[in-house]
Structure formats: structure tokens, C-alpha cells
Amino acid sequence: MAEAPARVVSMNLCADQYALLLAGPGQLVSVSHVSRDTVASPYAALAAEVPVNHGGAEEIWLLRPDLVLAHEWSDTRVLAILRRLGIDVLQIPVPEAIAEIPDTVRAYGDALGQSATAELLATAFEQRLADLEFRAAALPPGKTATLYGANGYSAGMTGMAGDILRHAGLLPAGGALFAGGSVPLETLVMEAPDMIITGARYAGWSRSEALLDHPVFDALPAARRLSGPAWACGTPRVLDAVEALLAVREAS
């Protein structure tokens, strides 16, 4: 077995999350600055105890890492420099479905030399997922839902967001809301989903989010819910999102 890296730097929000969950004491020396953002980061509380970086090649080099964790879309120029300097760089794809999360946990665990910890986490995730699927199967079908955010953007039923809705036993709203993309408010009203899920907002005002303050939302019968950081990055916390949706359905 390869020796575990002693000094690990993560330069991407999603890689941060797995590193924060799995790294041993003192092993993780820096995470990206976005990891402390409580709106976007599932494990922001853990990140508060770790120094941050801004993804620059020079600052990462000065941290003397044995391993750098990056995203598949991280800056290729920075990664090329780090590799030329002899630093190992690992890019593990972000899960696109809930079923992929246990293997992603194990992949990070192997990379960090924390396979035993990763296996415990993956196994606990699989058991909790099975329990949630059992709860979802006991509920009557038929409720529809959509994600609707800034600029009228809907994630549709693709990727992790759609998988979260499916695991909560929710059906996709029809038409353009199913396909995703920027959807006019009029279309949202016409499709009339049972649940509208919007993202948490930052402080201040933005024109892109002004649409979400339209009075028509007060007239819609749909329940409005916040997605929150549990929806981000395909971490084990996506089950918190599934459970929150299930709790709404069970209470209705």
C-alpha cells in the first residue's frame, strides 16, 4: 500500500468537502476559500478550522503539499505548473447520482490513506439511503416538484438535483421545467408544481434574484423550500436534502 500523503491541499470546493470528512489529524493543510461559505459549502463548519487558499500555483507550492486535490474543471494552467514541480495532483469526478457517492468516498479515502474511515462512512451512507428509500416507497405518489432559482433557472431532472427529488419520491414538473434551463415565470405558473425549491440567498440584492420576490409566488399553492448547501457537490449530506423533502411529504 502506498504511503499516505502527509500534507494535502484542496483547491476546489467539492474536493474540499471530501478532504474535510476523511483527512487524518494534521493531514489537511489548506482548503479553498469557498469552503467557508455557509451558503455553498456543505461542511463549512469543518472548514473554519483549516487555513484557506485561493487556487494560485505559487501559494499552493509554498504550502509544500504531497498531494493536491482539484476538480476536473480546475484551472489547467495551475495544475500543469504543479505537476511540472513534481507535485501529485488528483482530480476525482463529482458524483452525478446518489448511487455514485459511496464509491467517491472510497476513492478519496484510498487517495488520503484513510480507507478504513472511508469504508465506515460509505457503509453508513448506504444504510441510511436504504432507510430513506423505504420511507419514500411508503408514501403515495403523484407530488410534483421543481427547482427554480435566480434568472428563472431550473435544474430540471438531470444530475444530482434531479436524483435528490427522485429519491424523495417526487415527480418532475412537466414541460420546460423538466428539461431545465432558464424558464419564464409564466411557465412555472402554468405547470403549477406541488413544490418549488429555491436556493438560499446571499445578503444584499441582485437583479437575477428579484424574480423570486414576484407577488405571484404568494398566490401559488406550491410549498416553497430552500435547497441549501446539502444539495451541493454530491457529498453524503445529500441525504439530508432527501430526508428534508421526505419530512415535508410525510407531514402533508
Q: Note down pLDDT in tens along the chain; length 252 residues.
A: 468 999 999 999 999 999 999 999 999 999 999 999 999 999 999 999 999 999 999 999 999 999 999 998 899 999 999 999 999 999 999 999 999 999 999 999 999 999 999 999 999 999 999 999 999 999 998 788 888 888 888 877 778 988 999 999 998 776 656 667 888 888 888 888 888 988 877 777 788 888 888 888 888 877 677 789 999 999 999 999 999 999 988 988
Q: Identity (one letter) of the amino acid at 87?
A: I
Q: What are residue 198's DSSP bridge partners? A: 226
- pLDDT score, position 176: 59
Residues in Cβ contact with 156 at an 8 Å cutoff, skipping those fewer than 6 apart? 147, 162, 172, 177, 178, 179, 180, 181
The answer to whether the CB of 234 falls within 8 A of the CB of 162 is no
In this predicted model, what pLDDT tens digit does every residue of 176-235 receive, in sequence order? 566 678 888 888 888 888 889 888 777 777 888 888 888 888 888 776 777 899 999 999
- pLDDT score, position 243: 96
Domains 8-124 and 140-251 agree in fold: yes
The three-class DSSP label of residue 36 is helix
| DSSP code of residue 193 | -
- pLDDT score, position 115: 97
Instruction: Give the CATH architecture of domain 8-124.
Output: 3-Layer(aba) Sandwich (3.40)
* Radius of gyration for the alpha carbons in the chain, expressed in angstroms and rounded: 20
- For the domain 140-251, what is the CATH superfamily, name and number? Nitrogenase molybdenum iron protein domain (3.40.50.1980)
- pLDDT score, position 224: 74
- pLDDT score, position 169: 92
Domain boundaries, the chain: 8-124, 140-251
Q: Name the E strands within 33-179.
A: 52-53, 67-70, 88-91, 144-147, 153-154, 171-172
| DSSP code of residue 67 | E
- pLDDT score, position 178: 63
The answer to whether the CB of 50 falls within 8 A of the CB of 59 is no
CA torsion sign for 198, 235, 246, 174 is positive
Can you give the pTM of this predicted structure?
0.92
- pLDDT score, position 174: 67
